[in-house]
Amino acid sequence: MKAFILPSIIAAVAAEQAAWGQCGGSGWTGETTCVVGYTCQVSNEWYSQCVPGNAAPSASTTLETVVASSTAAPVPTKIAAAAISKADGTKFNIDGVTKYYAGTNSYWIGFLTNDNDVDNIMSQLQSSGLKILRVWGFNDVKSIPGSGTVYFQSFSGSTATINTGANGLQRLDVVVKAAEKYGIKLVINFVNNWTDYGGMAAYFSACGINSNEQWYQAAKCQTMYQNYIKSVISRYRTSTAVFAWELANEPRCKGCATSVLTSWIRKTSDYIRSLDSDHMITAGDEGFGLAGDGSYPYQFGEGINWEDNLALPNISFGTFHLYPQSWSVSNSFGNGWVTAHAKICQKLNKPCLFEEYGVTNAADHCPVESEWQKMSLAAKESGMAGDLFWQLGVTIKSTGQQTHNDGHTIYYGSSDWKCLVDNHVKNIG
């Protein structure tokens, strides 16, 4: 794309859309004039966006900017329309079929170093009928690890360096290619709220901050983050394996006004849309901040207003997670949690993805989680579009060792797998 401008202060704007914001499209009722330096460009029938160009100047606009040096134009799509996963009302359409879909999560698959292991896992997913796999598209470090250790981005001093080598994004290339081969669709996210695999905290020293809450509003952090986003999207922009781009894993802004996260989600999703006019975009949050029983998950203390965020024009579907033990609620809490989100998705006519869920006690895996699956599937006519259990467990073929068991792991071929995968896929039909 052309050099982009990230506004940090926009004041006294009269009837003008912000940089990278939506400015037109079928059904659009918002502003159609862009701020100074931007012009409204048509992407497709449904979406036009404010991009750098010769827009007429406006004396009433004050704009403070940070410029990232990038001159490459967005890569044109080469994907057949039928191969692009998309939202179809409150359902997902994959490969031309609109229905409810099941899948899982694997944070670790992009860090495997044996191509055949990745291929074998994708083959197992295909044979099981699981269609969506959520993977970590990030792996950030603050110092270069030992030889052969996989990492995707490193920070040193005030700079960030993206690793495109054999122990870098080429490992994610293997995952994408295997997904293409077996028809698996990937949710790829860009940063972690938590410190696992670096997360937002890996950026702190490089951009002069000390908290996640500051990270969302620090212009230098956001420039680095957007540069990383651009690098990943440019690699897989035309892949048939991409289901959706995800802003972060479980973003939170504890104690913040909800406007902080809503503004960040808007700016980031608008930026992603400027790079890719085809694929879906989602926030990746846990679903906090909505009307309910007043218990912690329904509260707004983590800086999230779920409905406001889902209503943003470039957020394609909503995500929510469920971990009763971590949230100090009962297992039965899950049924109401599913239906509360489905209700909002139905209201906004966007799909809901039950993106992570699990209980720690192995004896509860089948009886508890299968009930949540049934509730989600039952709500497919009122907002629910799919579910991804946390997390995938397999035996690595090259080593004979099992992948990480965090207490929630469901291993391929186990009795829990038969309950939560085989039976669930059969029920979906």
Query: pLDDT value at position 53?
Result: 58
Please give the structure tokens belonging to residue 202.
Answer: 């890996």
pLDDT of 333 reads 96
Q: Compute CA 172 distance to the chain's CA centroid, rounded to the nearest angstrom.
A: 16
Domain that includes residue 360, residue range: 86-428
Report the DSSP pairing between strands 242-246 and 185-189.
parallel
Residue 69 lies inside a defined structural domain of this protein: no
Q: Check residue 421 and report its DSSP letter.
A: I
Query: What is the structure's pLDDT at 51?
Result: 60
Residue 60 lies in a domain: no
Q: What is the pLDDT of residue 83?
A: 86
Residue 8 in any domain: the answer is no
Across the chain, which has 429 residues, the per-10-residue mean pLDDT values are 26 49 63 72 58 41 28 53 92 97 98 98 98 98 94 97 98 98 98 98 97 97 98 97 98 97 98 97 98 95 98 98 97 96 98 98 97 96 96 97 97 98 97
The four Cα atoms 408, 411, 416, 418 give a dihedral, to 10 degrees, of 150
Q: Of residues 213, 246, 250, 355, which has the active-site annotation?
A: 250
Would you say residue 38 lies in a domain? Answer: no
The reply to whether 184 falls in a domain is yes
pLDDT of residue 69: 31
The three-state DSSP-derived secondary structure of the chain is CCCEEEEEEEECCCCCECCCCEEECCCCCCCCCECCCEEEEEEECCEEEEEECCCCCCCCCEEEEEEECCCCCCCCCCCCHHHCCEEECCEEEECCEEECEEEEEECCHHHCCCHHHHHHHHHHHHHHCCCEEEEECCCEECCCCCCCCCCCEEEECCEEEECCCCCCHHHHHHHHHHHHHHCCEEEEECCECCCCCCCHHHHHHHHCCCCHHHHCCCHHHHHHHHHHHHHHHHHHCCCCCEEEEECCECCCCCCCCHHHHHHHHHHHHHHHHHHCCCCEEECCCCCCCCCCCCCHHHCCCCCCCHHHHHCCCCCCCEEEEECHHHHCCCCCHHHHHHHHHHHHHHHHCCCEEEEEECCCCHHHHHHHHHHHHHHHHHHHHHCEEEEEECCEECECCCCCCECCCCCCCEECCCHHHHHHHHHHHHHHC
Query: Helix or strand or coil: residue 52?
Result: strand
168: tokens are 């870098």
Note if 371 is an active site residue.
Answer: no
CATH code for position 266: 3.20.20.80
Q: How many domains does the chain have?
A: 1
The two three-digit tokens of residue 214, written as one number: 């500051």
pLDDT digits (tens, 9 = 90+) for 77-127: 567 887 899 999 999 999 999 999 999 999 999 999 999 999 999 999 999
**What pLDDT score does 407 carry?**
96
In a domain, 54, yes or no: no
Report if residue 108 sits inside a domain.
Answer: yes
- The verdict on whether 356 is a catalytic residue reads yes
pTM of the model: 0.84
Instruction: Describe the crossing of helices 333-348 and 365-378 by its angle, rounded to 10 degrees.
Output: 20
CA distances from 296 to 179, 281, 289, 330, 421 (A): 37, 27, 9, 12, 30
Per-residue pLDDT at 21: 65
* Tokens 């969302």 found at: 216
The whole-number pLDDT of residue 157 equals: 95
Residue 78 lies in a domain: no
pLDDT in tens, 250-292: 999 999 999 999 999 999 999 999 999 999 999 999 999 999 9
Distance between CA 12 and CA 60 in Å, rounded? 6
